[in-house]
Copies of this chain bind each other. A is one copy, B any other.
Amino acid sequence: MEKVDCSAEIEACYRRQDRFPLSLGIQLEEIRAGYARVSMEIKEEMTNFHGITHGGALFALADTAFGLASNTRGPAVALQVSINFIKATRPGDRLTATAQEEYLTRSTGIYQISVTRGEELVALIRGTVFRKGPRK
């Protein structure tokens, strides 16, 4: 199987129209075939009623890295994602999500995404995509 690299196109796409991550202030730091790293500062309006970062905001960061990394291989849609929450974070924290391809077949792909605050692990995610469209 020949592996595609659409990372340049995906980066352009992201900056122009990945509207939810852009609205949250998520920054694309690095993208290459099968890999993406993004970061975000937690803001007050991203908290839940316990005053810590809402699971939805954390997941949005991780899912952004996942979507970027998986689409560098051509069109891909998420089928299933599992997330382990490890540490609570708070407004002012800067979080980084790094997505790395673990396995790629003609029809599916598996990605590991880790979310960190500096050196500390905050969450661990594994996602499975279904690859769409023509893949010669």
A contacts with B: majority SS: mixed
Contacting A81 at CB < 8 Å: which of B24, B50, B82, B107? B82
Copies of chain A in the complex? 4
A79-B82 contact in complex given A18-B48, A46-B20, A48-B19, C-beta closer than 8 Å: no
Contact across chains for A126 and B60 when beta carbons are under 8 A apart: no
A44/B56 in contact, CB under 8 A: no
Chain B residue nearest to A20 (CB atoms) is B54
For A46, A51, A78, A85, the residue with the greatest tally of chain B CB atoms inside 10 Å of its CB is A85
Residue A86, interface by CB 8 Å: yes
Take A59-B56, A59-B60, A59-B63 as given contacts and tell me if A82 and B85 are in contact as well, using a CB distance cutoff of 8 Å.
no
Question: Could you list 6 A-B pairs, sorted by A, with CB under 8 Å?
Answer: A19-B45, A23-B46, A49-B71, A55-B60, A79-B84, A82-B83
